[in-house]
Structure 1
Amino acid sequence: MKIRKELWFGFILMGLILLGIAVVLLRAETITNGHLGLLMLALIVVAIMLGFPTAFTLMGMGMIFTWLAYERDPNKTLDLMVQAAFKVMSNDVLISIPLFVFMGYLVERANLIERLFRSLHLAMARVPGSLAVATIFTCAVFATATGIVGAVVTLMGLLAFPQMLRAGYDVKLSAGSITAGGCLGILIPPSVMLIVYGATAGVSVVQLYAGAFFPGLMLAGLYIVYVILVAKLKPHLAPPLSAADRVVPLPPLTQSLSEAFSNRALSALLRALKGRANAGVPLGYLLRQLGIALLPLITGLLVAVLGWLIATAPAAPVAAPLAGSAGVQEPPGSRAGLAAPPAAGGLAEPPGAGGLQEPPGAGGLQEPPGAGGVKEPPGAATAPGASAAPAPVAPRTDAPRGFWIGLGIGAFALLLFYARFSFQRLEIFKMLLSSFFPLVVLILAVLGSIVFGLATPTEAAAVGAFGGLLLAAAYRQLSAGVLKESVFLTAKTSAMVCWLFVGSAIFSAAFALLGGQELVERWVLSMNLTKVQFLILSQFIIFILGWPLEWTEIIVIFMPIFIPLLDNFGVDPLFFGLLVALNLQTAFLSPPVAMAAFYLKGVSPPHVTLNQIFAGMMPFMGIQVIAIVLLYMWPQIGLWLPQLLYSR
C-alpha cells in the first residue's frame, strides 16, 4: 500500500519528537518528575497527530501522570480532576462562546454571503484582480460575523471558486485567496480564539478585542495588496473582468428614467421630480430612489457635524486653587501651610474638651493655628443662604487644521462619487445596502459595545445572537429547522471547547505538579536570552506547532507553558497574545494539517489537487510572517487602541 506524502511527513515528525525526548532522558543523570512532564508533553503531541480526540487525550494523559506524581494515590488524582473541572466551569468569560457561535450559525444560514460577494464583486469590478479582492473582502466581513472558518471557506469555495476558475484565474491564487481570507475570522474580533486565549492567559478579552482590531485589518489589507500587485504584474494569473460580466441590469422604471433624461442618477431623479407627471414614474418610487441616492451625502454631513462637535469641544475647566493658597503647600511646620497643633507629645484632645464636642461655636474642634479655614472661590457669594453663581459656559475652541483638511478630502470624495454615480452604481449601492451594511451594523454593535465599555463580552454576545436572529428573520430564513440546527451545532461546538478547557486544566495541573514548567523555565533562562530572542524563539515554536496542531491545542496546551515566562523577559501578555493570534493563522494554512485546505478540497472541482491548494497558501503564509514582523517593530499597531480606551 502506497503511503501519502502527508502521512510520511507526520510519521517523520513524530519520530523526531520521540527521538528528541529519548536523547534528553538518556543524557539526564537521574530521571526526575520534570523529565516525566516533558515525556507527557511529547506523548500528547504524538497522540493528537495520530488522530486521538484532543480533549479526552489531554484528560487521560493528565490523569495518568498525575497518578504517577501523587505516588499512585487515586483519591488525590480524582480531587485534582474535580477541582480543575470546577475552576474551568466557573469561568464567566466562557459564557460568551456559545452566544457568539450561535450568532455565527444564524448569520451563516441567512444566506447573506452570496449577495455580499455579488455586490462587492460588482463594486470592485475595475480593481485589478477584482474577483480575488472581493473574495478576501467578503471572507473578512463574513468571517468576522460568523467566526466559523470551516463554514466561510466551504461557502466561498462553492460560490467564488468556480467563478474565478471560469474567469481564467490561476488555481493557486484562487485557492490561496479563499483559504487565507476565510481564516481571518479567528483573528478579527469577535473571535472565539481571543476568548480562549484570554481565559487561558488571564488577559482581559475586552483589551484583546481592541488590540486585535488593527492587526486584523492590517493582515487583510496585506492580502489585498498582494493580490492587486500579482494581478497588475502578471495579468494572466488574474484577468480583468469582461464588459459583459460588469453589466448591471436596471429595473424597468429606472431604465425609463435613464432613457428619458440621462444615466446620471442624481440629476435624472431631480429632473424627473420637476417634469410633468414625473416622467411617467410614480412619485413614491422617485422619492425612494432619491432617498437612497442621497444616503452617502447625509452620512457624510452627519460625520462632519459629529467631527466638528468633537474637534471644537471646550477644554475641561481646571479647578481653581483654594483662596489664600498657592498650590501644593509645604509639610506641617512650614510658615504658610498647615501647622501642627500647639501641644506636643502625640495626639491630644481638642482644647477644653472632655470628649467629642459640639460643632464650632461650642468649643469643639478648632482650625490649626494660622489657617484661615477653607475659603470660597474668588467672586463667590459669601452671604448666608446665597447661592453660588453659575459657572460660565466655556466657549468652543477653534477646529484644528486637520479637521478642515479631512473635511475637504471628504467633500472632494463625495463630489467624485456623485460625478460618476450612474443608475448602475445606484443598483450596486442598493445591493450593498441589503447585504454588506446589515452585517457591518451587527459587527459594529457587538464590537462597539465591548470596546467602548458599554457591555461585557457576554452581554455583547447576547446582543449579537439577538441580532443574528433578527437578520435571519429579516431575510426570511428563520424557521424551526434552522433554529433547531443552529442550537444543535452551537451546543456541539461549545461542548467541544469546554471539554478542551477541562482537559487543558487537568493536563496543565499535572505538568506543573511534575515540575515540567519549572524545568522548561530553567532551560529557557539558562540560555540568557534577550527579550527579542525570547520572542523569536517562542513565535518560531508556535509556528512549527502550527504544522501538526490546530490553534485550540496550541493555546490550551502550550500557552500555560509560555505565559509564566513573560514576566522574566518583561513581555506584556496582551502584546504576546496579539503576536500569537497573528501566528496562529498558520494553524489553518500550514500543511499537513491545514484544515482550510481540506475544507476547500471537499467542495472544489475534481481537477484541483490538494498540492495546488497547499502551494496557493504558501505566499499568504509569508504575508503572515511579514505581519508578525510589522507588529513587533511597531507594537502600537496593536496597543494604541487599548491604551487610548483603557489607560487611566
Structure 2
Amino acid sequence: MMSYEAIAILMFSSMMLLLMTGQRVFAAIGFVAVISAFFLYGTGGSELGFTASMKLMKWYPLLTLPMFVFMGYVMSESRIADDLYRMFHVWMGPINGGLAIGTIALMVLISAMNGLSVAGMAIGATIALPELLKRNYDKIMITGVIQAGSSLGILVPPSVVLVLYAMIARQPVGQLWLAGVFPGLMMAFLFIVYVAVRCRLQPHLGPALKDEELNIPMQEKMRLLRAGLLPVFIFVTMMVPFVNGWTSLVESSALGAVSAFVVACLRGRMSREVFENSMRKTLGISCMFMWIILAALAFGAVFDGLGAGRALENLFVGQLGLNPWVIIILMQLSFLLMGTFLDDTAMLVIVAPLYVPLVKALGFDLVWYGVLYTITCQIAYMTPPFGYNLFLMKAMAPPNISIIDIYRSVIPFVFVMVLALVMVMVFPEIALWLPDYVYNK
C-alpha cells in the first residue's frame, strides 16, 4: 500500500510528464485527476469529475468571463484600439520617449478591456511597434515596453487569470479584481518612470517627433482625444456602478459588453464580420478556461482528500521550521522556475491545491496572495530562456528583431516588476485597501 505522500508525488509527476508531451493543459490535469480518483476511491471516484462540473456551472461570477472577453474582442476587432494609439501619438509625441510612454498607457487601457496579455501583445506588436521603429526608437527598449505593458493584462481587472484563481482558492472575484487595480497602476507608473528617465538621459533611444509631424490643427487633436477616450468611457461605465455598489459584478460585466458593442456601432465599425469574429473568439477563450477550471477542481479535490496540503505544511513549518515569509518567498521562486516552461493557468492549476491551503494556514490573506501570484506570473512570462511572452513577441516582431534582442529588452522591466512584487509583499495595503474600502462601506 502506497503512502499518501507517494501517491501525491506520483500524481504530480504524472501530470508534469503529460504536460511535457504537449498535451492540452485541461486534458492532462483532468485525466490524472479522474484516473487517480477511480483507483483511490473505487467506482464512486468516477463521480468526482461530475461533481466538479456541477460546482462550476453553479458558480454565478463565472458569467463575467465571456462578458469581459467579448468586450475586449469587440474593441480589438473593430480597431477602436487604433484610435487610442493615434491619440497618444499626437498628444505624447513632443517629448522624448513620449510614444513609448503612450504605448504603456495604451496597454493599461487594453488590459482594462480584455483581461488577457495576448490581446495587448497583439495590438502592441501590430500597431505600436511598426510606428515606433519608423520613428527611430531603440528597438530593444520598445520591444521590452510592449512585452512589459501587455503583461499587465493578467493583473489589471478584468483579469481572466484572477477569475481562475478565485475559483480554485474560493475567493470573491470582485475583491481579487479590485486588489489588482493599484498594483497594476503602480507597475505601469514604474514602467513610465523608467522609460521617461532613460529617454531623458539618452534622448536617442526615444526621439521626440519632428515639427512637421506635430503640425496638426487643434480641432483634429480634440477629435482624436474624443475618439481615443471612448474606451475610458466604457471602463468608467462598467466600474463606477460596481465600485459604488449600484450593480453586482455580473451586471457590471454585462454593462461593459453592451457599452463596447454600442460604441462600435456608433463608430460605424460593427460589421457582420467583426461581430462573428468577436463571438467566435469569445466562445473559444471562455470554453478553454471553463475546461481548465473544471480539471483544476477535480484535481484539487483528490489532493485535498490525500491531505497533500497538510503534509506540505508539516514539512515546511514542522520539520524544517521555516519562517512563514521564507515559505512565501520559496513559493514565488517556484512559480518563476515553472514559468520558464508553463503558462500561468497551468502553473496555477498544478500548485494551487498545494499552496492555497498552506498560505491560509500560515495566516496570510488569500486575496493578497492572489495578487502576488499574478505579479510573479508576469515576471515568469518575461524571464529567459522560455518565458511565454518572449516567444509571442518573436512570432509577431519583424525579422530585424532577434531573439537575443528580445531577451535583452526585458531585463530592466523584470527588475521593475520584482520591485513592484517586493512593494506589495512589504505593504499589503497596496492590494488590500481598495477591496476593503468597497466591500466594507
Q: Fold match, TM over 0.5?
A: yes
Picking from 110, 118, 121, the partner of 1:150 is 118
Q: In the alignment, what sits opposite 2:308?
A: 516
Aligned pairs for 1:56-75 within 5 A: 56-70=27-41, 73=42, 75=43
Picking from 551, 554, 565, the partner of 2:358 is 565
Q: In the alignment, what sits opposite 1:447?
A: 239
* 2:111–2:157 Cα contact (<8 Å) kept: no
Aligned pairs for 1:510-589 within 5 A: 510-526=302-318, 527-589=320-382
Distance in 1 separating the partners of 2:241 and 2:195? 33
* 1:209–1:451 Cα contact (<8 Å) kept: no
**Does residue 39 of structure 1 match 2:7?**
no
Q: In the alignment, what sits opposite 1:83?
A: 51
Q: In the alignment, what sits opposite 2:262?
A: 470
Partner SS for 1:585: helix
Identify if the C-alpha distance between structure 1 residues 49 and 592 changes in structure 2 by more than 3 Å, giving closer, same or farther: farther
Distance in 2 separating the partners of 1:647 and 1:219? 26
Structure 2 unpaired stretches of 5+: none
Picking from 393, 412, 421, the partner of 1:600 is 393
User: What is the Cα deviation at residue 593 of structure 1?
Assistant: 4.1
Distance in 2 separating the partners of 1:508 and 1:567? 15
User: What is the Cα deviation at residue 183 of structure 1?
Assistant: 1.6
The residue type equivalent to 2:363 in the other structure is G
Distance in 2 separating the partners of 1:152 and 1:647? 33
The residue type equivalent to 2:88 in the other structure is L
Identify if the C-alpha distance between structure 1 residues 524 and 78 changes in structure 2 by more than 3 Å, giving closer, same or farther: same
Picking from 133, 148, 155, the partner of 2:101 is 133
The residue type equivalent to 2:368 in the other structure is F
User: What is the Cα deviation at residue 121 of structure 1?
Assistant: 1.9
* 2:155–2:184 Cα contact (<8 Å) kept: yes
Distance in 2 separating the partners of 1:565 and 1:115? 46
Q: In the alignment, what sits opposite 1:226?
A: 194
* 1:189–1:212 Cα contact (<8 Å) kept: yes
Any idea what the Cα deviations from partners look like across 1:145-191, whole Å, max 9, x if unmatched?
A: 12232232122212211222222222211111111111211111122
**Does residue 102 of structure 1 match 2:70?**
yes
User: What is the Cα deviation at residue 555 of structure 1?
Assistant: 2.1
Distance in 2 separating the partners of 1:203 and 1:563? 11
Distance in 2 separating the partners of 1:623 and 1:544? 18
Aligned pairs for 1:372-521 within 5 A: 423=218, 426-435=219-228, 437-521=229-313
- Give the TM-score, by structure 1 length: 0.65
Structure number with the higher helix fraction is: 2
Partner SS for 2:304: helix
Any idea what the Cα deviations from partners look like across 1:576-622, whole Å, max 9, x if unmatched?
A: 11212222212432334433333332232212112211221222111
Q: In the alignment, what sits opposite 1:169?
A: 137
* 1:93–1:199 Cα contact (<8 Å) kept: no
The residue type equivalent to 1:534 in the other structure is I
Picking from 609, 622, 625, the partner of 2:415 is 622
- Give the TM-score, by structure 2 length: 0.94
Identify if the C-alpha distance between structure 1 residues 139 and 601 changes in structure 2 by more than 3 Å, giving closer, same or farther: same
Q: In the alignment, what sits opposite 2:26?
A: 55
Distance in 2 separating the partners of 1:173 and 1:188? 23
* 1:103–1:465 Cα contact (<8 Å) kept: yes
Distance in 1 separating the partners of 2:386 and 2:240? 35
Distance in 1 separating the partners of 2:87 and 2:289? 35
* 2:368–2:431 Cα contact (<8 Å) kept: yes
Q: In the alignment, what sits opposite 2:91?
A: 123
* 2:70–2:278 Cα contact (<8 Å) kept: yes
Larger RCO, structure (CA 8 Å, separation 6 or more): 1
User: What is the Cα deviation at residue 440 of structure 1?
Assistant: 0.7
Identify if the C-alpha distance between structure 1 residues 150 and 635 changes in structure 2 by more than 3 Å, giving closer, same or farther: same
Identify if the C-alpha distance between structure 1 residues 194 and 450 changes in structure 2 by more than 3 Å, giving closer, same or farther: farther
Distance in 1 separating the partners of 2:425 and 2:63? 32
Any idea what the Cα deviations from partners look like across 1:453-479, whole Å, max 9, x if unmatched?
A: 222221111111101111210121112
Structure 1 unpaired stretches of 5+: 1-29, 251-422
* 1:547–1:590 Cα contact (<8 Å) kept: yes
**Percent of counterpart pairs with the same letter?**
29
User: What is the Cα deviation at residue 45 of structure 1?
Assistant: 2.7
Distance in 1 separating the partners of 2:123 and 2:284? 20
Picking from 173, 190, 210, the partner of 1:205 is 173
Q: In the alignment, what sits opposite 1:184?
A: 152
Q: Which has the larger radius of gyration?
A: 1
Distance in 1 separating the partners of 2:108 and 2:323? 36
Count of aligned positions: 440
